[in-house]
Chains A and B, each alone.
Chain A
């Protein structure tokens, strides 16, 4: 158990809909990362938050947005869903200290299926 929790575990929805994925980082971790794993792709970085502020953006679609709240949990919002958005979405957290690299610890993921 990495200490990172994600809800829900599975999500089935229809095209055009909007969903929210939730992540609670490990206790004390300030950085939260979101990754997408599609069938034919590896893990793709989407976005990072550090202590409530957006820190880095990857190949995140404009239909997707995220935020990190004062209690450090994060939500990933996916809207106008398309079939191609079906994937595993992982959240990871790290301590985020500036002095050195910190390993990222991953949650169990949310499997999104868009029908």
Chain B
């Protein structure tokens, strides 16, 4: 049972344009969401996160939008750069009160290719 889904295995965009990566989740207990970027032969790198009490969080070229009613989040990258080419993972967590149990449930990733 895949609780976090990234339905697009790959996405190709032109340099300078917007990249939109999508993620859906099924578990209503998830209340914190993160995006990680991964280059080959490296570990995932934290990009940006959003708490379920917000619907948008922005950090430079990266913006994450959360639609709780649709159980959907998206990552916007504007403008896209060739160095953004990587696998992007969506992850979700359920913050358990009284503990520091913040395990992440990951989607399978989307390979973003930004063409010069």
- Does B25 reach chain A (CB closer than 8 Å)? no
Given the complex, which residues of A lie within 8 Å of B103, measured CB to CB?
A: 33, 45, 48, 56, 58
Given the complex, which residues of B lie within 8 Å of A30, measured CB to CB?
A: 100
Once the chains bind, are B104 and A104 in contact (CB under 8 Å)? yes
Chain A contact residues (Cβ within 8 angstroms of B): what range?
A: 20 to 34
| Nearest CB of B to A102, in Å | 7
Chain B contact residues (Cβ within 8 angstroms of A): what range?
A: 20 to 34
| Nearest CB of B to A41, in Å | 7
Once the chains bind, are A101 and B32 in contact (CB under 8 Å)? yes
The contact of B43 among A42, A96, A107, by CB within 8 Å, is A107
Given the complex, which residues of A lie within 8 Å of B106, measured CB to CB?
A: 35, 42-44
Once the chains bind, are A109 and B100 in contact (CB under 8 Å)? no
> B1-25 toward A: CB 8 Å interface, digit per residue (1/0)?
0001000000000000000000000
Given the complex, which residues of B lie within 8 Å of A6, measured CB to CB?
A: 43
| Nearest CB of B to A59, in Å | 11
Q: CB within 8 Å of B: which of A23-75?
A: 30-31, 33, 35, 41-45, 48, 50, 55-56, 58
Once the chains bind, are A103 and B89 in contact (CB under 8 Å)? no
8 nearest A-B pairs in the assembled complex, by CB-CB distance: A106-B43, A42-B108, A43-B106, A56-B101, A42-B106, A45-B103, A96-B100, A106-B44
Interface residues of B (CB under 8 A from A): 4, 32, 34, 36, 41-46, 49, 51, 89, 91, 93, 95, 98-109
Q: A30-B100, A33-B103, A108-B43 are in contact. List 6 more A-B contacts (CB 8 A).
A: A42-B89, A42-B109, A43-B89, A45-B105, A90-B43, A109-B42
